[in-house]
Chain A
Amino acid sequence: MPVIATTALTKRYPRVTALDELTVEVGSGVTGLVGANGAGKSTLLKILLGLIAPTAGSAIVLGHDVVTGGEAVRALVGYMPEHDCLPPDVSATEFVVHLGQMSGLPADAARERAADVLRHVGLDEARYRPMGGYSTGMKQRVKLAQALAHDPQLVLLDEPTNGLDPAGRDEMLAVVRRIGTEFGIPVLITSHLLGELESVCDHIVVLDGGRLLRSESKAALTGETGVLAVEVRDLSGRDRLVAALARAGARARPDGPLVLVEIAGDETYDLVRDTIAELGLGLVRVEQHRHRLEEVFNV
């Protein structure tokens, strides 16, 4: 049974259609929900939580209809909103304990869980200080911790990497990955930064203007194209490499600073290596050229 299943889910506002007949399924593991701003990601999450009612269609989350069973859904789901939502005058520990109780945990259990999840998200001694003095990275960790406080069966993370520096983003994504694999909790994570979802998601759903653009496993979406991307130092080197590869019978073309070579078989790798060595070019990198999500997105 899928964790989330929507059927012709539609949400119309007086002037815009936020979701347009969206039919999609989300399973276990980490699922990325990708789309530009205004694509309907946040609207979808709010409908899945039963906070707003769809105009038409239905959504089933963990076996409960979101319209009639919103309360049951919210008891089982953890939600991390996109924007700031932390009061500055209490400590992270107090706040997460309180929200654990608000999800139905008895006080003692909430305290124990809060200590656990704050450790998992990597918030150390700071958890006893008022949250007003926290950095963006620390705040994002608390927001993630509160979504895990009640040991949910699904977490919805709305742009968890928003406002983080590259190191903070990597750490956040590593925790998200752990939630989906090690903790065994299905994750639906939204982002408009497409590249970052590649590294953590098993499955990617692309929304555009409220409509489903694609829903595929990441392997299918970013599968190998059979093209090798080679970068050598300076552009004249690039042109010499393209010419030499063409003479040797390989299909190659320049693409920006890169040379794209169609992979005919294992011998293509040898050919590229030998050609570069013969020409005495400085090799910067050789890699499998994959569809970037950006390309998928620009379809």
Chain B
Amino acid sequence: MSDQLPRGGVIHDIGYRHYTGPRLGRMAITQALMVSSLRHAYGIGRTGKAKVMPVLLFAVMVVPVVIIVGIENLMQFDEPQLLPVDYIFLLQPVIALYLASQAPQLFSRDLRYRSIVLYLARPPRRTDYALAKLTALVLALMVLIGVPLFILYVGALLAKYDFVDMSKQFAAGLVVALLVSILLAAIGGLIAAATPRRGFAVAAIIAVLIVSFTAVITTTAILDPEGDMSSTAARYASLGSPFSLARTVGTFLLRDHRENDWMPTTEQGLVFVGVYLLVVGLCVWGVNARYAKVARG
């Protein structure tokens, strides 16, 4: 036995090693935080349980488009059956659910477990932290909405619809998707950052989105009995829900409307853009103020 050479298994205590390599600046750190938050928003690097919701909702977003694209290509319709912009609004409950399930993950978690303190004790400022989280949520929503739109676009091209028309529609869809993502991320981020309780945040986000959506539908129906959106009051009712607000801003900015849609006047459009910017600004300010309070803690 004694003539055997020692194999493996020997642990050499090499003592404490100092780090002499490069140290990244605030911007690079913020970017790393953004990337890891985006991964977490889809459950990557988290437990299996945490992957269920985002993956499920992503599938719910993608599967219908795949079916639509398949039918389009099989049946050879003359024109596409679904506009990208309409798809966003058709599946807004799914988007709302995603926001409700993941915004607390990104914002409430560090507050609930107080790991926020460990971030605040590091170089990035609390503003960097807040913006990294908000950007991650915007990008996560863009993935959720953008991927089905992209599939729809590729499918439309495969079905040999007009390339220019399809590209325009796809681009318009992406712009509206971005407007929706920014607005939802700001609202969801503020609600989630306001409470360390995950359940509260989930319920509050769903409540805000569903109540506002229902309120807008009802108000519009009452104010616009003919359904032609000629009433100014009915038009302004669209300010009341994030989806209709973002959509109207998109329509106005892109000058892109179709028969079942309405085109705001310049004045109305500017009001919508103003309200949109105001809401996003207030929410981002609110998230930041919230972390300022946490830092003073």
CA distance A89 to B118 in the complex (A): 16
User: When the two chains form their complex, are residues A102 and B47 in contact, meaning their CB atoms are under 8 A apart?
Assistant: no
User: When the two chains form their complex, are residues A99 and B21 in contact, meaning their CB atoms are under 8 A apart?
Assistant: no
Give the number of residue pairs across the A-B interface with Cβ within 8 Å.
95
A28 at the interface (CB under 8 A from B): no
Q: In the complex, what residues of A have CB within 8 A of residue B25's CB?
A: 104
CA distance A151 to B122 in the complex (A): 13
B46 at the interface (CB under 8 A from A): yes
B142 at the interface (CB under 8 A from A): no
Q: Which of A78-86, A159-167, A211-219, A255-263 contacts B (4 or more CB under 8 A)?
A: A78-86
Q: A51-B295, A89-B50 are in contact. Are A74 and B123 (CB under 8 A)?
A: yes
Within 8 Å by CB of B16, from A49, A83, A85, A182, lies A182
Does more than half of chain B's interface fall in helix, strand or loop, or is it mixed? loop
User: When the two chains form their complex, are residues A109 and B29 in contact, meaning their CB atoms are under 8 A apart?
Assistant: no
How many residues of A are in contact with the other chain, CB < 8 A?
A: 39
User: When the two chains form their complex, are residues B120 and A51 in contact, meaning their CB atoms are under 8 A apart?
Assistant: yes
Q: A71-B125, A106-B21 are in contact. Are A86 and B28 (CB under 8 A)?
A: no
User: When the two chains form their complex, are residues A101 and B29 in contact, meaning their CB atoms are under 8 A apart?
Assistant: yes
B270-297: which have CB < 8 Å to A?
295-296
User: When the two chains form their complex, are residues A151 and B19 in contact, meaning their CB atoms are under 8 A apart?
Assistant: yes
User: What residues of chain B have their CB less than 8 Å away from a CB belonging to chain A?
Assistant: 15-19, 21-26, 28-29, 32-33, 36, 45-47, 50, 109-110, 113-115, 117-125, 295-296
- Please list the 10 inter-chain residue pairs (A to B) with the smallest Cβ-Cβ separation, ordered nearest first: A151-B19, A79-B121, A104-B23, A183-B16, A104-B24, A87-B113, A75-B123, A85-B114, A102-B122, A101-B32
Name 14 extra pairs, CB < 8 A, besides A75-B23, A88-B113, A104-B25: A51-B120, A71-B26, A75-B123, A81-B114, A87-B109, A89-B50, A99-B122, A101-B29, A102-B122, A102-B124, A103-B29, A105-B19, A109-B21, A182-B15
User: What residues of chain A have their CB less than 8 Å away from a CB belonging to chain B?
Assistant: 49, 51-52, 71, 74-75, 77, 79, 81, 83-90, 94, 98-99, 101-107, 109, 113, 116, 120, 130, 146, 150-151, 178, 182-184
